[in-house]
Amino acid sequence: MTLDALRDVPVLRLEECSPNVSGLTLAAYLAPEELRPAAAKLLGKAYFLEDVSVVEVSEGFLGVYHFDHFDAPGRIALRVLIPKDAPELPTISDIYQGASWHERECRDFFGVTFAGHENMTPLLLAAEDAEFHPLRKGDKALKSLTDLVPDGEGGPQAGDVAAFLAAAEESEAPGTPSDVTGSADGHESDEVSAT
């Protein structure tokens, strides 16, 4: 059940993991534009949303989405890497409404915005602090994605990440998230006037 949950979704990299080692059964690296179709597919297969979070790495921001299933448990992680100078992910809050608060939290903590989100106002931090993102790391503390994966069995593999980074670089040319940023401006100006 779990292993073919992402069939038909064009993933950059798909990993089968051992739940005993990593807590995941399946992890996929996706291009940002594939995130929404993948989420819709998982909802169609009755997966529920566990959480949405961001991990900051030297390559950019890694959006991490965890899903699980009520009847056939097995955690699926979707991961999307976006560049630091265009920190924007597509929202999935219209597919999984529970993502709405998680995405607002990610914006508070990391300054990653979500294109198409109907309400990007601060959730946990004060409106006055909207431009301060406490979970961002300084340059010294930043690690590369390849430094965060083990060489052992069962979890995400260093080789997979390297291959994914190469694939992401190849697709850099036209379809990168920097093209999508236009829609974020509406939200930003909205917030400023409200404050």
Partner 1 sequence: MTSSASPGRFHLGGDFYTNHFEKGGSPDTMILNMGPQHPATHGVLRVIFELDGEYILRTEPVLGYLHRMHEKMGEEQTYYQYMPNMGRVDYLHALAWNWAWAGAVEKLGGIEVPRRAEFIRVITCELNRISSHLLWWGAFLLDLGAFTPIMYGFDDRERILDILQRPTGSRLTYSYYRLGGVAADLDDTAQRMIRDFVLHLRSRLPMYRDLVTGNMILRHRLEGVGHISVEMCRRYGATGPTLRGSGVAYDVRRAEPYSVYPELNFSIPTDDDCDGMARYNVRMAEIEQSLDIIEQALDMLPDGDFWVKNAPKPKWKAPKGEVYFAVEGARGKIGVHLVSDGSATPYRVKLRAPGFSNLSLFAEVTRGTLLADAVAILGSLDMVIPEIDR
- Positions in the binding site for partner 1 (CB under 8 A): 19, 21-24, 43, 46-51, 53, 55-56, 64, 66, 68, 70-71, 73, 75, 77, 95-98, 100-102, 109, 119, 121-127, 134-135, 143, 147-150, 152, 155-156, 194-195
Give me the residues paired with residue 54 across strands: 63
CB of residue 173 to partner 1, shortest distance in Å: 30
CB of residue 181 to partner 1, shortest distance in Å: 23
Q: How far apart are CA 60 and CA 165, in angstroms?
A: 11
Closer of 115 and 161 to partner 1 (Cβ): 161
CB of residue 101 to partner 1, shortest distance in Å: 5
Give me the residues paired with residue 26 across strands: 16, 76
- Strand 26-30, strand 88-90: pairing: unpaired
What does residue 79 show for φ and ψ, rounded to 5 degrees? -130, 135
Please count the other Cβ atoms lying within 10 Å of the Cβ belonging to residue 65: 25
Residue with tokens 């069995």, as numbered in its chain? 153
CB of residue 78 to partner 1, shortest distance in Å: 13
Closer of 137 and 183 to partner 1 (Cβ): 137
Closer of 102 and 180 to partner 1 (Cβ): 102
- Strand 88-90, strand 113-115: pairing: parallel
Q: How far apart are CA 51 and CA 71, in angstroms?
A: 18
Closer of 69 and 115 to partner 1 (Cβ): 69
Closer of 57 and 168 to partner 1 (Cβ): 57
Coil/strand/helix, residue 125:
coil
CB of residue 104 to partner 1, shortest distance in Å: 9
